[in-house]
Amino acid sequence: MKDLVHIFELEDLLQEANNELIRKAKDDGKKVLGYTCYFMPEVLLDLPGCVSARLRAPRSTSPDMATYYMSGRTCMYGRCLLERALEGGFNFLDAQMATETCTVTCRFQEHLQLMDIIQNPNFFCEFTDVPFKKNDNSIEHYENQLKVHVLDKLHEHFGIDTSDEALLTAIKEHNEVCRLITEIGSYRKLDEPTITGTEFSIIMLSTLVCPKYLIIDKLRDIAEQLKTREPDVKKTYRCKVVLSGSEEDDPNFIKLIEECGALVVADRHCYGSLPGREEIVVKDGESPLRAIARHYLGTSSCPRFMEQHVMRQRKQELADIVKEYKADGIIISQMKFCEYWSYERTIDTIVMQKEYGIPVCSIEKEYVNNAVGQLRTRFQAFVESIELKALKNNDNSKKEVTA
């Protein structure tokens, strides 16, 4: 396929947290607000006057200082973030809008509070409590939390306008990005997708780590180009897969999967678009903040939700994604030491195969991808097993026709 417009530029922007566009936004007088989790609604951090930056630690190697503080037995994502912070890589942040939604990222953010790491005199880190359920009580609680711990703090520290009008403007801009990403992502549903998983992950990630007002034109260009983009004449992949799991912000990992012959057609993980890029709908009579609270609790598929029907629905949702994106299997990837996803991966691995008949490749990986050789072998074997299964199914259906 012809190269996507802006793709190399976007890829470059992913090489460091304090990228060119973040610097540009700072020059424009914007406040840069860091966050780590979907439960911190980025739309609130993109209010006029500020921009959101979902934290990553690209090109990390060995997080030695962070390992002293957090030991080698915690999620490497959290450690790499702390290492990057200790190295001064997050000094551009004006605030960290934190959530205690998983243990290790919470500890990382607490360290930002406790240890005076960010060399920015006005920096502050504020925590929001996020509920474990999706009921009305939780939405109300979440809304209050967002008001007091996000909106009020932004207004208090930076004089940000947090009125309903400002929120509606932010929602509108946010929805525009979501619409574009959904449109771009929809080409993955085609029988022969006209966008690769690697390309999509670069685009998706850039919307999380760059100021949206500075990349929206690029997204429009990409969406426009995709309308006429043709797939390769000769298929370059052997099967299609959904990537599901925990934190994943490395396009090279998607590239690795695709090099093994599996095209990644859907991204249902912490930094993915499913969920993540649904438009926020403000219902009649509903305040914008209420709509945001409802939206983020309602759309999240995080394994920390505990209600019985929600736990069980998650499996169905994953199976639905497989069907919708015409995938042949699922790769479930879990960051080593992520407790939520170790369990979710275990149960998904059993249930998706047994109850839905969907082949699953279940892997555990580190944030810094060192075990490329082993993973490559796993993915190649998985692709082969899917092909064998397809062959067997073809044989069986031929026999049936003959009979």
Partner 1 sequence: MKLNDIKAKYRELFVVEKAPEDKNKPKDVKKAVKDFWYGKPHEERRLGDLYVGDTGLYKHREWRGVKDTMYYFNMVWLYNYAHMVTDIMKYGDGTPKSVVDFAKGVMRYRWMGQTYLTVMHWFDRGMEGMRGEAMRASAWHYRGMVSESIRQFQRMFVSDKKIHGGKEPETWKKNIAHNETVGGSFFYPFMDELEEVPLEMIPYFVSVHVNSHTVLNYIDAAQSIGLPSDPCPMCQAEYGLFVLDDYPDFAPAMVTSNEACDGSVATSVLQDWFLNRPLYALPQPMRYDDPLVQKHCQKEIENCWKFIEEQYGIKFDWDQYVKHAEAYNKLTEFEWEKWDVAANTPYYPISGVAQALYRIYYSQVGDRPIWHEMDEHVKRIMNKTVKNKIETFPKTRHRAIAWSCAPLYYSHWCTWAYNCWGINCVINMDSLMFDQYLRTDTYEHALEDLAWMNEKAPMRAMAVGGHEHILSLFDYMERFNCDMVIMYDQLQCKGMQGIHGVFEDEFRKRDIHAIWIPHALPEKRTVSRKEIRQIINDYMTTVMHEEPLDPTLVDFDDDKSW
Partner 2 sequence: MKSIWKLLGKFLGFTAVVYGILFAVFYWDLDGKFMYYIWEPMMIKRFDNMKRADNTSIPYLQKDKVAPDEYTQIL
Q: Which does 362 bind (CB under 5 to 8 A by kind): partner 2, partner 1, none?
A: partner 1
Among positions 59, 343, 354, 374, the unique one binding partner 1 when judged by CB under 8 A? 343
Q: Is 390 in the site for partner 1 (CB under 8 A)?
A: no
Q: Is the CA virtual torsion 44, 46, 50, 55 positive or negative?
A: positive
C-beta of residue 53 within 8 angstroms of C-beta of residue 40 = no
Apex 183 CA angle, 317 and 283, nearest 5: 65
Among positions 111, 153, 174, 277, the unique one binding partner 1 when judged by CB under 8 A? 111
Among positions 15, 91, 122, 135, the unique one binding partner 2 when judged by CB under 8 A? 135
Interface segment toward partner 2; rule CB under 8 A; list 28-36, 130-138, 193-201, 320-328: 130-138
Q: Respond yes or no on whether the N-terminal peptide bond of residue 131 is cis (omega within 30° of 0).
A: no
Interface segment toward partner 2; rule CB under 8 A; list 40-48, 129-137, 153-161, 322-330: 129-137
Interface segment toward partner 2; rule CB under 8 A; list 152-160, 215-223, 255-263, 291-299: 291-299
C-beta of residue 339 within 8 angstroms of C-beta of residue 103 = yes
Among positions 145, 201, 244, 300, the unique one binding partner 1 when judged by CB under 8 A? 145
C-beta of residue 126 within 8 angstroms of C-beta of residue 154 = no
Among positions 174, 295, 345, 365, the unique one binding partner 1 when judged by CB under 8 A? 345
Which among 388, 391, 384, 389 has a CA at the least distance from the CA of 260?
A: 384
Cβ neighbours around 323 below 10 Å, total: 12
Between 8 and 343, whose beta carbon lies closer to partner 1? 343
Which among 291, 351, 341, 294 has a CA at the least distance from the CA of 317?
A: 351
- Site residues (vs partner 1, CB under 8 A): 68-71, 73-75, 78, 100-104, 106-108, 110-111, 113-115, 127-133, 135, 137-138, 140-141, 144-145, 148, 303-304, 306-308, 311-312, 334, 336-337, 339-340, 342-347, 349-350, 362, 364
- Site residues (vs partner 2, CB under 8 A): 134-137, 139, 294, 297-298, 307-310, 312, 315-316, 347, 350-351, 354-355
